[in-house]
Structure 1
Amino acid sequence: MGFSNLPLLWTAVLPVIVLLYYFFRRKYKDQYVSSTLLWNEVMQETKASPYLKHLQKNALLYLQLLALLLFVLALMNPFVTKTETAGDQMLWIVDTSATMLAGKGGTTTFDQHKEKMMDLAENLNGRPISIIATGEEPKTIVQKETDLSAIHRAIAKMEVTYEEEQLTKAIDMAHALIGDEAASIYLFTDSVERGELPIKSDNIQWIVKGTSDELENVAVTRFAATSHEDSSLALVQLKNQTKNDKALTLSILNAQKEILAEEELLLKAGEEVTKTYKNLPSSSILTASIDVEDDYKADNSMVALIGSGPSQIVVDQQMHSLVQKGFQALNEEVKIAPADQLQDVDDAIVVTNRTELLQGSKSPVVLIGRNDEKAEEINLQVDESEDALFSFSSLQEVYVSSIYPPFEDFATIATIGGKPFVQRSSKGDIVILTDIQSTDWPLHPSFPLFLWGIQNELTQGKTTLGAFFPNERRAVSLPSGEWTIYSSDNEYVSSLDGGSEFRAPMLPGSYTVRSNEEEKQFVVQLSSQEREIEEGRSFELGSVKQNREEEATKKPLLRWLLIPILLLLAIEWEVQRRRGFAN
């Protein structure tokens, strides 16, 4: 601790003057009066407490002395010295993913980190700072900013974007901003492993600020629904991520928020359960919601669209019998047709290996294998992505012996050995670049679930846009013209032009995009990564080599002295008022 205005120590003479005033003020002699002698007995109780009597008599003196001493201390501007290990510049990476909304007592991890950032900003002492917000497209909030007020405003405006943190992209941007200079990088997140942080440079130190609380979470990890005749079928997956048993209420609601099904459940510690609900009343949108005591509410509900597209499935007669039986187990309306008749199929999902149908068919196509190319040997396992098609079916343990060449214009949603394995066309067709007999996929439980996911996706039809992640950018089939996005409560969200790139809203839920002639529904869902809370901690990694002395920041204590000074003045006023100002 030190004082930045030590020459003002001379003001300590002020309390000395007050003390001298009390020493040399006019004093009175005690004079006994006969008429008051009888009061001596009554006053014995007061005389039995001489210290209290002394304090009452000299309360004003002590209050004045204490207030003056604190005032003198404030004039000398005391501070505490705090050593900061820092480079030439400071950079903050702020996690804005949905899991930052977890927290105890109504205070989220994101709010706690914003308070820490405000405190750190006070100790910058003019040093430049850059702030990066994570996401699919990391954003630079401020860059080499030194104005404290601008930094405070930027911190106050930051908010959770519900996107995955995509930490690797934010780190790449941080290295681009830093260059070859020495720097301290603060990472404000909920959880990160040491191995995820690069320590290639000797001039970079990582200071990780993780969550300070042990959080509990029960999540709706997956939810999907499909129509069957005049009813709906829903599949819900729940996971208890805590170390304790949790009681909850699971509800299935329709588009009007009416409860279609409700069930009381008890999930054991770490348990994961899947519930199926059949013969639900028909609805365009279903919501799975749980009522449970936990520390993260964003993953307690999930919305699913029920498509209005083709429900019938037509399978090429030349396809492997496992494919035929797999779809027949899911849907009674499966037909087996010769290859030469598939071109004329309308209002049905076509399952084939004939690539020419991708262009010529009017119906959605599921292409398994290719009839126009030769497969090459690969002998590896599949690496899937976070695509919604794999919500219920993990392909990570699926072994594949050979694959076909990919389609150049199609989006890849699963790879194997770095090569495309599952693709999606711009109009929604699903392509699997192998023959079923070249894999052990049918032996895995994920095979029928994957087929069910394909059916569910392709039956969404023309009245829906499908499911998106928060703020996801994707090309969608919207006719040209002005379109407006509304929430489920019919509140305006944003506008866009048809034919341009579509960007989903930030908040999870159901939405409608409308033009003057038609409207389409879509949903925004958290990714599976944002539906799981991990235990985090704070730590430091690496060090900064500096040629100059280590910097010490000064944290002033003036504001902590002003409050007791004002309080003492108020008490002094009250004591003087009770005694009477004339005295």
Structure 2
Amino acid sequence: MGFSNLIYLWTAILPLIVLIYYFFRKKYKDQPVSSTIFWDEVMQETKASPYLKHLQRNALLYLQLLALLLFVLALMNPFIKQTELAGEQSIWIVDTSATMLLEDGGLTTFERHKEEMNTLVNELSGKPVTIITTGEEPKVIVRQETEPSVIHKAINNLEVTYEKEQLTKAIDMAQAFIGDTSTSMYLFTDSVERGELPIESENIKWIVHGASKDLKNVAITRFAATTTEDNVLALVQLKNETDEEQVTELNLMDETGNVLISEQVTLKGKEELTKTFDTLPLVSALTVNIEVDDHYKEDNTMLTLLGSGMSQIVIDQQMHQLVQKGFQALNKDVKIAPSDQLEAMKDVIIVTNQAELLGKTDTPIVLIGRNDEVAEEINSLVDVSDDALFAFSSLEDVYVHSIYPAFDQFETIATIGEKPFIQRSARGDIVILADIQSTDWPLHPSFPLFLWGLQNELVGGTENLGTFSPNESRSVPLATGEWSIYSGEDEYVSSIESGSEFRAPVKPGLYSIRSNEEEKQFIVQLSPEERTVQEGTSFELGVIQNSGEEEETKQSFIQWLLIPILFILVIEWEVQRRRGFAN
């Protein structure tokens, strides 16, 4: 604490003047007289409280001294010193991913971070602040804002979007606001490694606010199901992220919420367990839920949609025998057809290498290799994305000798040496840019699992839109007209026009999209990264250089002195009025 106007210290003489005045004022001597001698008994109660009587006699003195002392302090402008790193601005990166809903002590990490941000607003000292939220498309909420009320409102309006955090994209956006300006970068997240933060510049200091430590979590990491002739086969993968044994109750439910299977599962510390259920009744959707005492509830539920299982798979007779045998092992209803008959087929899944069929038919296509291009040699291993197609099939050990050129407009979901290997078209066709015989893929257990996932996705795609990540944008095959999205509770969410880009809702769950004549279901599912939690981390990194000195701010609290001064003056006036102004 200090004073910025010590020149007004001379005003401390004012309380002394008042005190001296009271010492030399005219005093009276108590003299008992006959007319008041019988009042002694009445005054016994007052004499029994001499301190109260003293206070009553000298109330004005004490009030005047207190008011003058506070007035002297106010003139000297007292302040509290706050030491901060030198910086001309602050940039706050706010993680809005699902893992921010980790709950501890009745508050989620996101709610606690919002409280911390509101506190920081009061310590900005007029410096501009920029707030950026994470996601596939980072957003600037406020830019170079100095008005506290505007910043508080922006903070209070922040919400979790359940998207994958994509922290690198938010940091890249923040770099555009820095330039040569010294900046304090605040990162509000659950956990981040120090190596993920760029510290090349001497004008940046990172202040990371993480989640609480010692949080426990048990998650459903994988869930898939497929329809056979008479029943449904489902696979559930659970993971215990704690060091202690955890007991959970696993429930499988149909689309109406009826419990099909309820089973108690015990997981050892750090154990990952896969369970298979092969006697489930035929249903259109399945939900798996675990009941467990942990700090993260969002990964305790997972959904999947099932097709009718009746779509026939037609394989081009020119395809390699390994492809034919692979699909026949999974589905008895597989047909081998000549290449020239494929284009005319309807309501089937076509497996071929004829690239010209893409876009010529409404039938889903699995393109393995290309007949219109020449493959180029590449000696590398496969790197897959977090796409749901690879939920149970890891391709990292697959060797590929040569690949074909990629399609420019298709989404790449697996690469080899940074070149596309597996792609998906806008309408859901799957393209494998290599001949099966040029890989050792059929020798790996991932091959039949991949074909199983491929069949499950394409069969389901003929009846529903499939699975989306929260807030994901994707082109989907919809008929002409207006479509409306409804939640599983039949609440209206939004509307889109056919041909426009489809954007999935933010909150995970089962949804339906409807037009006047048609209805399709789809699922919004957390990404695999949002189904696991890490230990919370909070730290500071980097130093802002400013002639080797730290910047000190002075927080004045003169306003807190003016209010009691005014209050004391009102009390003093009331005391004087009761005694009579003439006295």
Tell me, yes or no, whether TM beats 0.5.
yes
Match of 2:238 in 1: 238
Match of 2:138 in 1: 138
> Deviation at 1:82?
1.7
Match of 2:478 in 1: 478
List per-residue Cα deviations over 1:269-310 (Å, max 9, x = no partner): 111111222232222221111111111111111121112475
Shift in alpha-carbon separation, 1:556–1:105, aligned structure 2, 3 A:
farther
Query: What CA RMSD, in Å, does the superposition of the two structures yield over aligned residues?
Result: 3.9
Task: Give identity over the alignment, percent.
Answer: 60
Indicate whether 1:165 and 2:165 are aligned.
Answer: yes
> Deviation at 1:74?
8.5
1:256-295 matches, within 5 Å, as 256-295=256-295
1:112-261 matches, within 5 Å, as 112-261=112-261
Distance 2:69 2:243 in 1: 51
Corresponding residue SS for 1:178: coil
TM-score scaled by structure 2? 0.84
Distance 1:510 1:12 in 2: 77
Corresponding residue SS for 1:187: strand
1:175-574 matches, within 5 Å, as 175-308=175-308, 310-546=310-546, 550-555=550-555
Q: Letter of the aligned partner of 2:264 in structure 1?
A: E
Distance 1:15 1:328 in 2: 104
8 Å Cα contact 2:427/2:475 also seen in 1: no
* Structure 1, 436-445 or 167-176: larger mean CA deviation: 436-445
Q: Letter of the aligned partner of 2:414 in structure 1?
A: A
Q: Letter of the aligned partner of 1:252 in structure 2?
A: L
TM-score scaled by structure 1? 0.84
Shift in alpha-carbon separation, 1:315–1:181, aligned structure 2, 3 A:
same
Gaps of 5+ in 1: 30-49, 573-580
8 Å Cα contact 1:316/1:352 also seen in 2: yes
Distance 2:532 2:251 in 1: 20
8 Å Cα contact 1:70/1:561 also seen in 2: no
Distance 2:177 2:310 in 1: 51
Q: Letter of the aligned partner of 2:232 in structure 1?
A: S
Corresponding residue SS for 1:530: helix
Match of 2:43 in 1: none
Shift in alpha-carbon separation, 1:250–1:57, aligned structure 2, 3 A:
farther
Q: Letter of the aligned partner of 2:550 in structure 1?
A: E
Q: Letter of the aligned partner of 1:277 in structure 2?
A: F
Shift in alpha-carbon separation, 1:57–1:241, aligned structure 2, 3 A:
farther
8 Å Cα contact 2:127/2:146 also seen in 1: yes
8 Å Cα contact 2:470/2:508 also seen in 1: yes
Corresponding residue SS for 1:486: strand
Q: Letter of the aligned partner of 2:325 in structure 1?
A: K
Shift in alpha-carbon separation, 1:78–1:292, aligned structure 2, 3 A:
farther
Distance 2:130 2:402 in 1: 48
List per-residue Cα deviations over 1:491-549 (Å, max 9, x = no partner): 11112212111111110001111122222111101101111101131222222223596
List per-residue Cα deviations over 1:445-501 (Å, max 9, x = no partner): 322221111011101144311111111111111223222111111111112212111
Shift in alpha-carbon separation, 1:18–1:209, aligned structure 2, 3 A:
farther
Distance 2:108 2:159 in 1: 12
Gaps of 5+ in 2: 32-47, 572-578
> Deviation at 1:318?
3.9
Corresponding residue SS for 1:173: helix
8 Å Cα contact 1:488/1:512 also seen in 2: yes
Distance 1:309 1:105 in 2: 47
Match of 1:82 in 2: 82
Match of 1:101 in 2: 101
Corresponding residue SS for 1:460: helix
8 Å Cα contact 1:12/1:69 also seen in 2: no
Corresponding residue SS for 1:356: helix
* Structure 1, 319-328 or 399-408: larger mean CA deviation: 319-328
Distance 1:403 1:220 in 2: 35
Distance 2:455 2:371 in 1: 23
8 Å Cα contact 1:513/1:519 also seen in 2: yes
Match of 1:43 in 2: none
8 Å Cα contact 1:303/1:510 also seen in 2: yes
Distance 1:94 1:82 in 2: 25
* Structure 1, 187-196 or 78-87: larger mean CA deviation: 78-87
> Deviation at 1:138?
0.7
> Deviation at 1:433?
1.0
Shift in alpha-carbon separation, 1:480–1:17, aligned structure 2, 3 A:
farther
Q: Letter of the aligned partner of 2:529 in structure 1?
A: Q
> Deviation at 1:10?
5.6
List per-residue Cα deviations over 1:24-45 (Å, max 9, x = no partner): 999999xxxxxxxxxxxxxxxx
Q: Letter of the aligned partner of 2:440 in structure 1?
A: D
Corresponding residue SS for 1:299: helix
Shift in alpha-carbon separation, 1:518–1:74, aligned structure 2, 3 A:
farther
Distance 1:280 1:26 in 2: 103
8 Å Cα contact 1:350/1:363 also seen in 2: yes
> Deviation at 1:359?
4.2
> Deviation at 1:12?
10
Distance 2:500 2:29 in 1: 92
Shift in alpha-carbon separation, 1:377–1:86, aligned structure 2, 3 A:
same
Distance 1:323 1:382 in 2: 19
Q: Letter of the aligned partner of 2:224 in structure 1?
A: A
* Structure 1, 375-384 or 521-530: larger mean CA deviation: 375-384
Distance 1:264 1:111 in 2: 33
Corresponding residue SS for 1:265: strand
8 Å Cα contact 1:241/1:271 also seen in 2: yes
8 Å Cα contact 1:131/1:142 also seen in 2: yes
Q: Letter of the aligned partner of 1:268 in structure 2?
A: K
Distance 2:196 2:379 in 1: 29
8 Å Cα contact 2:227/2:309 also seen in 1: no
Q: Letter of the aligned partner of 1:326 in structure 2?
A: G
Shift in alpha-carbon separation, 1:549–1:521, aligned structure 2, 3 A:
same
8 Å Cα contact 2:104/2:212 also seen in 1: no
8 Å Cα contact 1:390/1:453 also seen in 2: yes
1:13-92 matches, within 5 Å, as 75=74, 78-92=78-92
Distance 1:520 1:263 in 2: 31
8 Å Cα contact 2:15/2:69 also seen in 1: no
Q: How many residues align?
A: 560
8 Å Cα contact 1:11/1:72 also seen in 2: no
8 Å Cα contact 1:123/1:554 also seen in 2: no
> Deviation at 1:319?
3.2
List per-residue Cα deviations over 1:46-68 (Å, max 9, x = no partner): xxxx9xx9999999999x89998
